[in-house]
Amino acid sequence: MISFEKKKLMEFSSSLSFQRDKEFFHRVWNTKLDVYINRLKAIGFFDKDYVLDAGCGFGQWSVCLSELNKKLVSIEIDSERTNVCKKLFDYLNLKNIDLMQSSIEKLKFKNNTFDVIFCYGVIFLCDYKSALKEFYRVLKPNGKLYFSGAGLGWYIDNLINDHHNTKDFNSFDMAVSCLKNTINFMNDLPFDNSNNKQTIVPSIIMKKLCSEIGFQNIMCDGEGFINLTNMKNVRSFFPKEHFGIESGYEILCEK
């Protein structure tokens, strides 16, 4: 079982430059680890030999994936977040995680490497077409990919209601920049890089893309709803809809 002194763990966020990152760190680490463990068990991501956590952020899913599986690679593009994860994984004495600062758009792994790939809250922040092709390439045959996404409803809610606004994050501005990016991406124009290349991608487009790339057995539901193992106490982090429009969703598919 993973055990830690909460006060010590929270100290790792003190070096972060942005207030929004400090608050995000506190949010994810104030959630009981059982919530993440139950979610991973519900999608069958346990007892695997080799797992990729793609875009690990502050590492809470990685810590749980490392507990449930044999070996894990965690990659994260942001240097500050990667440094925090390094301190965290060392503090928790997790020996089965390789941590790398890298992008999920171009993976430095051979074909057919991983049994499962987990990618929570990341795919819409990057060039998702490249990332999904890379996931397919590095998954073993019959390997599984899980990722979560956000539909238009989430961004409309961000335009109307504050979501975790801090002195360096404004959810309205994020949603506007995301709308601009979405239009650019659809027209093969460059991203507005000021906001993580974030684009709105409805699940129907993601499913079509997964299928075109070659993924099979594509399951899609509201975020936190896929439950293959009849786990109890499985919790969503995002509503399925806002204003009757798709919001948080998740996709589980197979190579």
Ligand X SMILES: C[S@@+](CC[C@H](N)C(=O)[O-])C[C@H]1O[C@@H](n2cnc3c(N)ncnc32)[C@H](O)[C@@H]1O
- Cβ proximity to ligand X: between 70 and 108 the closer is 108
- Cβ proximity to ligand X: between 57 and 149 the closer is 57
Instruction: Please enumerate in sequence order all residues whose Cβ is within 8 A of that of 62, keeping only pairs 6 or more positions apart, or say none.
Output: 53, 56, 72, 74, 85, 89, 97, 99
Distance CA 39, CA 203 (A): 20
Which residues from 177-196 bind ligand X, rule CB under 6 A?
Answer: 196
Distance CA 255, CA 140 (A): 7
- Cβ proximity to ligand X: between 76 and 157 the closer is 76
Which residues from 95-154 bind ligand X, rule CB under 6 A?
Answer: 103-105, 120-122, 125-126
Number of residues that bind ligand X (CB under 6 A): 19
Radius of gyration of the chain from Cα atoms? 17
Which residues from 13-72 bind ligand X, rule CB under 6 A?
Answer: 28, 55-57, 61
Instruction: Supply the minimum distance, in Å, between the C-beta of residue 183 and ligand X.
Output: 20
Which residues from 205-244 bind ligand X, rule CB under 6 A?
Answer: none
Residue with tokens 């099979």: 216
For 18, 50, 58, the CA distances from 26, given in Å and listed in that order, are: 13, 29, 10
Instruction: Supply the minimum distance, in Å, between the C-beta of residue 152 and ligand X.
Output: 18
Which position among 23, 78, 241, 254 is part of the footprint of ligand X (CB under 6 A)?
A: 78
Which position among 65, 72, 77, 252 is part of the footprint of ligand X (CB under 6 A)?
A: 77
**Alpha-helix residue ranges (DSSP H) falling in the chain:** 6-11, 19-30, 33-42, 60-68, 79-91, 128-138, 152-160, 171-186, 203-213
Residue 81 binds ligand X (CB under 6 A): yes
- Interface residue list for ligand X (CB under 6 A): 28, 55-57, 61, 75-78, 81, 103-105, 120-122, 125-126, 196
